[in-house]
Amino acid sequence: MINLAQYIRGSRYDFDEWAANGCEGWSYKDILPYFLKAEDIHIEELKSSKYHNMGGPMAVSGSRVTQLADLYMKAGQELGYNITDYNGGEQIGFNRMQLNTRKGVRESSAVAYLGRAGKKDNLDIAVNSFVTKVGFQGKTATGVYYIRNNRKYFVSAKKEVILSAGSVNTPQLLMLSGIGPKEHLEEMNIPAVADLPVGDNLQDHQAYALYSKINRSIGLTPTLMTSFWTFIEYQLFGSGPLTTSGIEGSAFINTDNTRQGKTYPDLQTSIFSAIFNLSLLNLNKNIKKDYEAWGENVDGFSFVIINTHPKSRGTVRLRSNDPFDHPILDPRYLQEQTDVDDLIAGIRVWEKYIETPTMKGLGCNVDDMRKSFCLQHEFRSDAYWECMIRCLAVTGYHICCTCKMGALDDPTAVLDPSLRVKGIKGLRVVDLSAFPNVTVGNTNTPTVMLAEKAADLIRGMDSVTHIRQKLPDDV
């Protein structure tokens, strides 16, 4: 999985809500041991925490590269927030970054679980292979069809077929195999094996980035990132600017203080020590020109706001019954006005943040976000910020929940709490499409947790009893 490598588990309230809504066995107390099992903490001040663990397959390291990393925290304190461990007992506050890196190298799930030396007798990887559908005998999954080197194959399953193709391709494969909304399958001329709401409930985070120039040359500019000495530092010592994705600060915020300690935060912020690279975005030519006027090597920072639980819901649908046709994604971003309102609430936090003594000392100015393409509205009004959001908000690349798990009597659920496809024998889904609802923050880490727990469900064992006995008292 390619992402910004931020290690975040979500909120304890996410998982307690899953359990309360029918996902028995998925409360925070149930799943925290699996987060700990997977973790190998390398941050000194967190090694003694009962919320962290050493020795797991996936390394977690800090991301303190520039002076800005400490200034972000200082400004957060000036705003009235504590500095917290967002994977610990209290999430609300400003936080130092935790990244899935080991000695400056990304620790992806592929590296952590498959990249270690040694023969794996229980694993056979077929590369250059394209799965086209699941095979069935009645209501029992028997194996999968796939194409390799332009030849068709079928591999049979002795016990179960496990789909781990992600939130887009897993629902596509299920629908191609006859598991999905009956009317849609009939439209695609696919015989229905099971009428289930596959491809519904698509959820994703939306992100909106605010920018400010700073008056000191301490940011991660393109010149610094590509310099010879930066490269040498990384190669010799595994340290320096190339060990980070640019993100050096974080915060989790409740815009309504009466909600604190009762539910998950409304907003996540990621603070980059650079002006966010707009060339990554497919922007309107005039909008892009307004930003490029700053020049490429401007020192500054980006304050990216993410609404943690958007209300908008989308779908995944087949384009045709040809497995090589990409499915149709309709995420319906910002369809619900509350999602825009949440982002505007985050902007109001940013406006106060850059007015703190620390940020003002860096020369930060709200006027840096005065852009011509939205000035038909009064600058800094709700209407102005909504215009900016609708022009510039982007996906968080956290698409999930398209094959949600839930109680057996939940008509919106595709899977039961053991990740088995309802009404089908021998078929499970093990990826983030199984989430009932999107979690707080980046989704890589909770996906690893889900896979660790799924391994125990499949094997019919409990591999984390020893960890469960050591959980913090307040879990």
Which tens digits make up the pLDDT trace of 334-367? 999 999 999 999 999 999 999 999 999 999 999 9
Q: What is the pLDDT of residue 304?
A: 94
pTM for the model stands at 0.94
The CATH fold assigned to 128-192+399-468 is FAD/NAD(P)-binding domain (3.50.50)
Rg (alpha carbons) of the chain, rounded to whole number = 23
* pLDDT tens string 365-402: 999 999 999 999 999 999 999 999 998 898 989 999 99
Helix axes 12-20, 28-38, angle to 10 degrees: 130
* Residues with a known catalytic role: 398
Which is the CATH superfamily of the domain at 58-111+206-307+334-392? Glucose Oxidase, domain 3 (3.30.560.10)
The whole-angstrom separation of Cα 4 and Cα 245 is 6
Which part of the chain is CATH 3.50.50.60? 128-192+399-468
What pLDDT is attached to residue 277?
62
Low-confidence stretches of the chain (pLDDT < 70) are 1-3, 119, 277-283, 292-295
pLDDT at 2: 56
What's the token pair of residue 17? 């809500």
Domain with CATH 3.30.560.10 in the chain: 58-111+206-307+334-392
